[in-house]
Structure 1
Amino acid sequence: MILGYPDDPTVTAGGRIVLRVSTDAPAFRVLVYRCGARTELVQATDWLPGRSAPRLLPFEDWDWPAHALDVPADRAAGVHVAVLVEGDGRRWTTPEVAPDPDARTARVLFVVRAPADRRPRVLYKLPLLTYHAYNLGVPDPGRAWSLYSLPEPRPAEVPPTVSVRRPGGGTGGTPWDVFNHDPFDPSPRQTFRHWDAPFLAWLERHGVAVDLCTDLDLHRDPALLDRCTLLLSAGHDEYWTDAMRDGAEKFVADGGNVAFFGGNTCWWRVEFDDDHAFRRVANWWDPAGPDRPENHLTGVSFRNGGERDRDDHPVPVGYRVQHADHWVWEGTGLADGDVIGDGPDEYLIGYEADGAHFDRSRTARGLPARPTGDDGTPGGFTILGVGDIAPGGWGHGNAAATMGLHDGGGGTVFTASTTDWPRLLAGGTCPAVEQVTHNVVSRLAGGAS
């Protein structure tokens, strides 16, 4: 078996990425693929010496044997996956077909950023902390540990802490909830392949140039947002540190824009114990904890949305349009009361969704939903779509996903409020989802290049 992880998950083109690898084979090679509109082989090494290394506790720095790869200065920014291939150091044939970037072993994900003088002003953030919160790391019951599980028999009481310096982190490890099958996509949730890859592929196919970063970059240096016009996040961006949250809110206050094309966003507050291990502290909204509802940033919260799988709740729910004359709906041809994403193969609202609390007595009288603000949603938040999940007997609080946006005191924050937005975007089954995405990205990027 071969496993690996990056010493640091981000490198600037022209720099060097260090991969940490353990294998029981005498030799291995590294094939590096860039994952954009297509998966493209961009680098291959010669045979490297293989060595087995111990699997440590999940909150430790595993410090496996290091192998450095130089990244050419002209390498395009993007998510890269290193495929680790074991062998005997002899004959080798490069595969003609790119392998799946998602696997439980033999994969290492890292991000290549553009050099500072040619970075696009749209920045896409990978939810690395969410990947690792669910990441069990290795297929070993004695070391299978995440923020959601401990191995059996349980070890002595320890803080629920995990390290980013172990296998996993988007691919190459096993997510704790791999058992939670998605009927629409065989790739596990909490992996790069499930939500982020299709969203990035769509952006590239439509000519949207983006730079890349991970949570770790934003945590370490919130000032990286200073030259951006738009911060993008998609899928499941659940875990945020103080520095990430502070940086994003300052960015918006200073006139920057944020678009969240996902759900369950900014749900947990986490802290780093050192430079590589973090622990879950509390929900952002918790009055006994941070008492800083995520709504202040996103406009919505999981508290008024919920979790929903098709296998348990087979009736699809989409967004009922309101304020159809708003620029977000431009070009869709939709009118107030129309519904998008409720086809049997669409199922737009799920697997997790966020909402802003609103007075249901208004909507019962045929009036547009508008936020009450009693959950922390800014008063200027405009609800553009309502996905009512209460009739299905599930959800939290108000039990309705709400797509919308608000002026964060300077810039604009848009939220799609459902994790599966990228699935419909990439699938092409719902033209309105594509048009809304195009409208939001184009407008909030402000002509960025």
Structure 2
Amino acid sequence: MARRDLLKSSAVIGAAAAFPRASAAATKGGMIAAENAKTGTGDWQLTYVRPDRKDAVRTSRIEGYCSHTSVRAGETIAFHLSTTPASNVTIDLYRMGYYQGLGGRHVKTIGPIAVKPQVIPERGVNRLRECRWPVTAEFTVPGDFVSGVYLGKLSCDVHRYQSYVVFIVRDDRPADLLFQCSDNTWQAYNKWPESDSLYDTDPPNKALNGTTRVSFDRPYGRYPQVVDQALSFGSGEFLCWEFPLCYWLESQGYDVSYISNHDTHAGGERLTRGRVFLSVGHDEYWTLQMFQNVKSAIAGGMSAAFLSGNSACFAAPLVASTDGRPDRVFHRAGRFGNLTDLEKLQMGPFDLDGLDLPNESSIIGARTVTPFNGSGDWTVAPGMANHWLFAGTGMKAGESIPGLVGWEFHGDPAKIAGLEVVATDTTINSAEKTATFTATVYPGPKGNWVFNASTIFWSMGLSQPPGLVPPISHYGRPHGPDARVQRITSNFLGKCGVQSTPA
């Protein structure tokens, strides 16, 4: 892709009139609350998982991937599966949410379907691995499927082992909250089948290089960092960092609609229908179109909450697969805000070096700083105890929520009119190097607001759903659900005009 194409901004997104005036949760009678009143089940969880080796990321006995990251009602998604040995496979689809505290609802069984072992592709140019597995099954999304994250639990009849496929069902309705899954980052860290993430490379390239390519045409292997989550086989990072927010929002009856990074990339009505945009968990890899679309949406009146860390750090253009299907391959093409002198020693070179890439702090309120990672306490900044964000929390200046900052975060706050640093403290990484995290909030131009929680671990303070494995990062760990984190989150959403409607 040419540089001029990478730098094209998307079309200007709609004016403030495009955003709903009243809370959609109230006007729609609590769609999400009604969905979560349906019978839930804990059977969405994998019971028997067996990697090929103890330290392997792959489970070749049963694995698969989807043809699309997100689909809408009426569209068809294809599943590409492989088993060893050949087996009949059943796909049980579950929508993830609260559901009486069980975390999921069974919505469909597909199969049994005959599945055979499939070839593991050789590495191509730039280490790219693209599976060309045949379509095992296709599924047309019914019109009554509520937007959400859907897991397909894969079960074989010749052995007991299981894994997942994952996809998002989006919709087109006006919604209070747009929950953006960080699926580009899921794929960037995906090592399947062995050492094939965006962080794996060939000498003399640096680990953070601009050469390695990754494809969505492969299964998600077990997640490789800071948490040993067996349920990450096939589910990306959703169950690691994003599910606790999903679970909490739906327990509170917030009106939430789900999208992928690719939907943010597409822009238009996929964004302007939302009142508050949510960047969730580990949201590191954005396209330039994503950046411009979110920036334009904030300028048009949409609020945003970056309940995440390391967000919009690397510019990663989506390009077609080698057989021409759009948006299936990406690489690390540049650093938002450009490389610092210290970062140049650790990473690059990139395609977009030398170009004036926008700084992520211009929309987030702060940015990823070096060292990138560490752990720390989320501490109320001096003079901020009476801020509306902390109303009802009882927090005082200097009071901390222990272990909530990690393992990546934001610092170096932007010079935006009205921006306030609401929390700050020192982080320490495994080499005892320190950095300063800053959580921020600033007003948008049309009565909207932008909050930067400045930690991947924010959702850990909201809920602990079934199957969650708490992380331990850089000798620090979050403590789990905390009424203060819940109240800060609901205070921000309320400031944006968004109310919950519990069942």
Matched position secondary structure for 1:353 = coil
TM-superposed deviation, 1:223: 3.8
Q: How many residues align?
A: 389
Determine what percentage of the aligned residue pairs are the same residue: 25
Per-residue CA deviation, residues 157-192 of structure 1 (Å, 9 max, x unaligned), is 993111112111xxxx133xx2x4349x78769611
Question: 1:418, 1:70 → 2: CA distance?
Answer: 37
Aligned positions of 1:15-26 closer than 5 A: 15-24=75-84, 25-26=86-87
1:108 maps to a residue whose letter is V
Contact 2:265/2:290 (<8 A) preserved: yes
Contact 1:22/1:65 (<8 A) preserved: no
Per-residue CA deviation, residues 381-423 of structure 1 (Å, 9 max, x unaligned), is 1111112337998556xx2211121124443211000111111
**Does 2:386 align with 1:349?**
no
Distance 1:447 1:426, change over 3 A: closer
Contact 1:307/1:395 (<8 A) preserved: no
Q: Judge which range, 69-78 or 195-204, deviates more.
A: 69-78
Which residue, 181, 199, 212 being the options, matches 2:226?
181
Partner in structure 2 of residue 201 of structure 1: 247
TM-superposed deviation, 1:29: 1.2
Aligned positions of 1:40-439 closer than 5 A: 40-56=105-121, 57=123, 59-66=128-135, 67-87=137-157, 106-114=163-171, 116=172, 118-138=173-193, 141=194, 144-150=195-201, 159-168=211-220, 173-175=221-223, 178=224, 180-182=225-227, 191-274=237-320, 275=326, 276-286=328-338, 288-303=354-369, 306-309=372-375, 316-321=376-381, 322-337=383-398, 339-342=399-402, 347-357=403-413, 376-389=414-427, 394=432, 399-410=435-446, 411-427=448-464, 429-439=481-491
TM-superposed deviation, 1:340: 2.7
- Structure 2: where are the runs of 5+ without partners? 1-60, 321-325, 340-353, 465-479
Higher relative contact order (CA 8 A, sep 6+): 2
TM-superposed deviation, 1:151: 7.9
1:145 maps to a residue whose letter is D
Question: 2:371, 2:444 → 1: CA distance?
Answer: 21
Matched position secondary structure for 2:120 = coil
Q: Judge which range, 201-210 or 325-334, deviates more.
A: 325-334
Question: 1:419, 1:299 → 2: CA distance?
Answer: 16
Matched position secondary structure for 1:333 = coil
1:15 maps to a residue whose letter is E
Question: 2:212, 2:285 → 1: CA distance?
Answer: 14
RMSD between aligned residues: 3.0
1:125 maps to a residue whose letter is Q
Distance 1:434 1:21, change over 3 A: same
Which residue, 96, 108, 128 being the options, matches 1:35?
96
Matched position secondary structure for 2:404 = coil
Per-residue CA deviation, residues 363-387 of structure 1 (Å, 9 max, x unaligned), is xxxxxxxxxxxxx442431111112
Per-residue CA deviation, residues 136-166 of structure 1 (Å, 9 max, x unaligned), is 122xx4xx31110148999xx9931111121
Q: TM-score, normalised by structure 2?
A: 0.71
Question: 2:236, 2:76 → 1: CA distance?
Answer: 27
Matched position secondary structure for 1:293 = coil
TM-superposed deviation, 1:36: 0.9
1:191 maps to a residue whose letter is E
Partner in structure 1 of residue 13 of structure 2: none
1:444 maps to a residue whose letter is C
Contact 2:252/2:500 (<8 A) preserved: no
Distance 1:54 1:42, change over 3 A: same
Contact 1:61/1:163 (<8 A) preserved: yes
TM-superposed deviation, 1:304: 6.2
Distance 1:286 1:394, change over 3 A: farther
Distance 1:429 1:129, change over 3 A: closer
TM-superposed deviation, 1:45: 1.6
Q: TM-score, normalised by structure 1?
A: 0.79
1:134 maps to a residue whose letter is Y
Contact 2:253/2:500 (<8 A) preserved: no
Question: 1:393, 1:181 → 2: CA distance?
Answer: 15
TM-superposed deviation, 1:251: 0.1
Question: 1:395, 1:249 → 2: CA distance?
Answer: 33
Contact 2:211/2:332 (<8 A) preserved: no
TM-superposed deviation, 1:2: 1.8
Question: 1:333, 1:161 → 2: CA distance?
Answer: 48
